[in-house]
Structure 1
Amino acid sequence: MAVVPLKDIVQRAFDERYGVPAINIFNDLTLEAVLAGAVEANSPVIVQTSVKTVRAIGSDVLFRMWEGMTAGIEVPVTLHLDHCPDRGVITECLERGWNSVLFDASELPVEENLRQTVDVVAEARRFGAHVEGEIEAITGMEDGIGSNEEGVRQPLEVALDFIRQTGVDVFAPAIGNAHGTYKREPVLDFQRVSDIVSAHQVPIALHGGSGLSDAQFTDLIARGCAKVNISTALKVEYMRSSLDFLKRAEQTDKWDPPSLFQHVGADITDLTVSLAKQFGSAGKGW
């Protein structure tokens, strides 16, 4: 396949009720490994970049990495800017070629969030790109964005009015999910997903996916969570894989960076394949 619009991936997943891994990468190794995992699993994948990663690497370099690694790729892939409250960074990424953005104005009053999201959707359309929206902050910090305080959940009609008026392509509701590592079993509002989807057929983004159980994933995906965000799980795998390799290097006194990269990359690839199988997107490439 090739690089495709976000909506091509999430709409098919929504209609067929499977979830697509939306994985936050943070360097060339993780990007390459996630793409390799998608190919191995024959799965569509949404590659996500945080604002922190865009600023650290630079949008030009990051996008050239993306272009180089996706040239001739055999599965549908798309590049998404995750949780971005900065309109300037959104414009920068859309101009570079990102396929979609999450405009995170959840800290603003709903009315102002709606007004600005309408503008972002119009801007994205000029680039042939799509937009994910949210009106409630997902609990937890992710790459310096967010809050550890749980936000107030808006009434259903407020959420539906936001979706209708803004025309967002994906909606991310707060359902008791959280970014980072769960300290205890989360209490999720499964019915809220069903209520939104029943009233408006919009693909739902599930944030805070790292640490949910198989049963929770299965239930939420069946209700319409077509985009399943994974960030913390990849970071943990990256660090643990690196630590494991370095401990053995210290024991054997063999220091070979390319072997370290190969070891970590293989583990990230395996993680991606596992996620695709877990969410039902394995074998769904086209």
Structure 2
Amino acid sequence: MPLTGTREMFARAYKEGYAVGAFNVNNMEIIQGIIQAATEEQAPLILQVSAGARKYAGQAYIRKLIEAALSESDLPIALHLDHGQDFDICKDCIDGGFTSVMIDGSHLSYEENIAVTKRVVAYAHDRGVVVEAELGRLAGVEDDVSSEHSIYTDPEQAVDFVQRTGCDSLAIAIGTSHGAYKFAGEAKLDFARLEKITNMLPDFPIVLHGASSVPQEFVQMANQYGGDIGSASGVPEDLLRKAATYGVCKINIDTDIRLAMTAVIRKYMAENPSHFDPRQYLTPARDAVKKMVQHKIRNVLGCSNKI
């Protein structure tokens, strides 16, 4: 089945009050685990590629791995660029067959963000590709994206930004953050701000970045078998499920997959010190990815049986 865009995915998600999972991919095992989970759950899917993944695996390699997955799947799958830093990166991915790109101008001034987003939108829409933009800034670190402080999204600016740029979805800042260390105290999301933005932009898809929940069972497993992850904490899953009823149609998940995969590999290597065949430890790692994604689809995103 060919790749698809996200317009139809998001329209149904908005109407029915669920979100589509956007899972970051870096290698074959992660892609296979995600596809297996979504196939069993009959869920729509967004596979997204960050700048770090493009550097690590190469865009062509990732594209071919996803082509292999598509040949064995009848799922609606979008291929998305996560955190495109400038026009040239977005153009390269559009020309390379991506069906969705994110232009992240959140590090720029407001007017500069509008200008670069408009440029990407014009190029993308002429080629049938959809565009996600970002307004506001998330704290934390993920690949090449980092910020010490959050800047929450202003609702009035959000309306002006969407109208002036023509973007198809908007990533906003309401309290999530990148990486595994999201909250020093009580976990909170600014639902009043989210509700206001949703009411002012009716039927418009909102995106949450930095939305991994950092399951403590995997933090403990990783630490038990030689890790040093510390006091990592994420966004409680009940808050993410609630967000999907406020117009959030896309929720990004990366850290939880990395954590589950690494914890399982650490455990396997500790229990099987004589093993050195990568297939031996990557098989349970792939299964850990599958189980994590299935859990997210069923219990957080609410998008099982939505195709």
The amino acid across from 2:7 in the alignment is: K
Following superposition of structure 1 onto structure 2, how do residues 107-256 of structure 1 map, counting pairs within 5 Å?
107-151=107-151, 153-181=152-180, 182-184=182-184, 185-200=186-201, 201-211=203-213, 212-250=235-273, 253-256=274-277
Following superposition of structure 1 onto structure 2, how do residues 37-52 of structure 1 map, counting pairs within 5 Å?
37-52=37-52
CA distance in 1, matches of 2:188, 2:261: 28
* Matched-pair contact (CA < 8 Å) for 1:43–1:75: yes
Partner of 1:267: 288
Greater Cα offset, 34-43 or 65-74: 65-74
The amino acid across from 1:147 in the alignment is: S
In the superposition, the TM-score normalised over structure 1's length comes to: 0.94
- What's the CA shift string for 1:214-267, capped at 9, x where partnerless? 3201221111111011011111111111111111111xx344322212111111
The CA deviation at 1:82 is 0.5
CA distance in 2, matches of 1:192, 1:220: 11
Partner of 1:283: 305
The CA deviation at 1:154 is 4.7
Partner of 2:12: 12
The CA deviation at 1:203 is 0.8
The CA deviation at 1:2 is 4.7
* Matched-pair contact (CA < 8 Å) for 2:134–2:172: yes
CA distance in 2, matches of 1:175, 1:132: 17
The amino acid across from 1:284 in the alignment is: K
Q: Which has the higher contact order (CA 8 A, sep 6+)?
A: 1
The RMSD of aligned alpha carbons is 1.5
* Matched-pair contact (CA < 8 Å) for 1:2–1:75: no
* Matched-pair contact (CA < 8 Å) for 1:24–1:49: yes
The amino acid across from 1:196 in the alignment is: I
Tell me whether 1:258 sits opposite 2:279 in the alignment.
yes
CA distance in 1, matches of 2:287, 2:167: 36
* Matched-pair contact (CA < 8 Å) for 1:37–1:269: yes
Gaps of 5+ in 2: 214-234
The share of aligned pairs that are identical, in percent, is: 29
Tell me whether 1:26 sits opposite 2:36 in the alignment.
no
The CA deviation at 1:204 is 0.8
* Matched-pair contact (CA < 8 Å) for 2:41–2:304: yes
* Matched-pair contact (CA < 8 Å) for 1:59–1:92: no
The amino acid across from 2:252 in the alignment is: N
The CA deviation at 1:79 is 0.8
CA distance in 1, matches of 2:288, 2:91: 34
CA distance in 2, matches of 1:254, 1:113: 50
CA distance in 2, matches of 1:27, 1:71: 17
CA distance in 2, matches of 1:183, 1:155: 21
* Matched-pair contact (CA < 8 Å) for 2:140–2:147: yes
CA distance in 2, matches of 1:155, 1:206: 15
Gaps of 5+ in 1: none
The CA deviation at 1:144 is 2.0
CA distance in 1, matches of 2:38, 2:262: 21
CA distance in 2, matches of 1:245, 1:155: 46
CA distance in 2, matches of 1:156, 1:20: 23
Query: SS of 1:192's equivalent?
Result: helix
* Matched-pair contact (CA < 8 Å) for 2:153–2:174: no
The CA deviation at 1:91 is 1.1
Tell me whether 1:88 sits opposite 2:63 in the alignment.
no
CA distance in 2, matches of 1:221, 1:15: 10
CA distance in 1, matches of 2:296, 2:87: 31
In the superposition, the TM-score normalised over structure 2's length comes to: 0.88
CA distance in 2, matches of 1:13, 1:72: 25
Cα distance change on mapping 1:154 and 1:4 into 2, 3 Å: closer
CA distance in 1, matches of 2:287, 2:2: 22
Partner of 1:101: 101
Q: Following TM superposition, where does structure 1 have runs of at least 4 consecutive aligned residues deviating by more than 3 angstroms?
A: none
CA distance in 2, matches of 1:191, 1:11: 23
The amino acid across from 1:80 in the alignment is: H
